[in-house]
Amino acid sequence: MPVKQKIGTVISHKMQKTIVVEIENRYPHPIYSKIMTKTKKYLVHDEMDESDIGDQVLVEECRPLSRRKRWKLRKIISKSSLVS
């Protein structure tokens, strides 16, 4: 069975080994054809704490690691240009 993968932006890394990733889903409105945008936040397991706020990351589905954490960091696509 294929593993689900999504690309998103890190918006928080305040927890240990956990980041919050925001994923945008764009789709046309069924009647008016306007492009709509929905965003959803996922808790993602980051074992090495290597990502930072603003990074583009690839996440993949995994077994439940906690009550809300069911995704893990696969790789960092691009680093943020923000200096923190």
- 70 CB-contact burial (10 Å; exposed 0-12 / middle 13-18 / buried 19+): middle
Q: Give the global pTM.
A: 0.89
- 62 CB-contact burial (10 Å; exposed 0-12 / middle 13-18 / buried 19+): middle
Name the token pair of 34.
């306007």
Tens-digit pLDDT profile for residues 11-45: 999 999 999 999 999 999 999 999 999 999 999 99
Query: Is 22 inside any structural domain?
Result: yes
pLDDT of residue 13: 95
More confident residue, 4 or 80: 4
Question: Which residue bears the tokens 């993968």?
Answer: 5
* Structural domain total, the chain: 1
Q: Which CATH number fits the domain that encloses residue 32?
A: 2.40.50.140
**pLDDT surpassing 60 at residue 84:** no
CA–CA separation, 23 and 48 (whole Å): 21
Query: Is 36 inside any structural domain?
Result: yes
